[in-house]
Amino acid sequence: MSNSTTVQSVDRAIAILEILARDGATRVTDLAVQLDVHKSTASRLLAALEHGGLVEQSGDRGRYRLGFGVVRLAGAATAQLDLSRESRPVCLRLAEAVGETVNIAVARGGDTVNISQARGPAAISGHNWVGQRTPSHATSSGKVLLAFGALRLPDDLERYTPRTVTSPAGLGLEEIRERGWAATEEELEVGLNAVAAPVRSADGSVVAAVSVSGPSYRLTPGRLPEVGALLVEGAREISQRIGYYG
């Protein structure tokens, strides 16, 4: 299948979802007319969407409606938007207090992904972490997500700097759980240190991490416990803002 054909199929699949969202349960023949395609093409697209749980057949055979998969995706997107929005004032305050960059990160596909960022007055300009995937074992946020079960430890711990921890035992996950925060010292990038604490959802599970990162000459090893304590308090406030009251 050519790239143009693939794009056309994706466009048509999106159009089907939009039609079903607007009209409710709809017959294949009606969808085919609205898409200006043969009925067999509409059926093939519906079959693919049904396989992914995005559409389902209604009680009236031959009519399709949006499936539960759409609700699941919408819920995930809403939760992420809520987390970004509710964490924003806390992250801004932390960035001002510590003077460095503050990020909110979540687990995605075995990695850690930053979804929100606030810069402190001393933060290095131009480094935007939002949307970037980072390895769990070499970042403070990733270590938090690993320690509290939001991520699974990868089989291969790749080395990024001479200080990257490449053995599971060396990550100190039990210690992270006990003290409530994690740190990295030049483990992802030479000259970059970071600290992170866990953010919990309403059911108490860890769904994100809030972190502070900065150059090692400012965010020194001696400052890490102090910053860690600030992050624990900030993470607790974010958790409460998204429904956790433990």
Shortest CA distance to 227 belongs to which of 244, 210, 241? 210
Distance CA 155, CA 8 (A): 38
pLDDT, residue 169, reads: 93
Strands (E), the chain: 26-27, 55-57, 63-66, 101-108, 111-118, 133-134, 182-185, 192-200, 206-215
CB of 111 closer than 8 Å to CB of 136: yes
pLDDT, residue 72, reads: 64
123 or 184, which is more confident: 184
Residue 186 corresponds to which tokens in the numbers above? 């030049």
Q: Which residues pair with 215 in a beta bridge?
A: 192
67 or 107, which is more confident: 107
**Per residue in 150-200, pLDDT tens?**
999 988 899 999 999 999 999 999 999 999 999 999 999 999 999 999 999
Q: Do domains 3-66 and 76-241 have the same CATH topology?
A: no
pLDDT, residue 179, reads: 96
pLDDT, residue 76, reads: 55
- Which residue carries 């790239």 as its tokens? 3
| CA R_g for the chain | 23
Torsions phi, psi for 87 (to 5 deg):
-85, -15
Q: Which residues pair with 65 in a beta bridge?
A: 56
Contacts of 234 (CB under 8 A, 6+ apart): 90, 91, 93, 94, 197, 210
pLDDT, residue 55, reads: 87
* Highest mean predicted confidence (pLDDT) among 5-19, 66-80, 120-134, 186-200: 186-200
Tell whether domain 76-241 is in CATH 3.40.50.300: no
**Per residue in 53-97, pLDDT tens?**
888 887 666 788 888 777 666 655 555 557 888 889 999 999 999
Does the reported pTM lie above 0.75?
A: no
Domain extent listing, the chain? 3-66, 76-241
Tell whether domain 3-66 is in CATH 2.10.77.10: no
Handedness of CA 230, 235, 236, 238 (dihedral sign): positive
Length of the chain: 246
pLDDT, residue 71, reads: 64
Cα 68 → chain centroid: 21
Shortest CA distance to 56 belongs to which of 45, 43, 46, 41? 46
* Highest mean predicted confidence (pLDDT) among 6-10, 84-88, 147-151: 147-151
Residue 141 has pLDDT above 80, yes or no: yes
pLDDT, residue 81, reads: 55
Q: Which residues pair with 66 in a beta bridge?
A: 55
pLDDT, residue 73, reads: 67
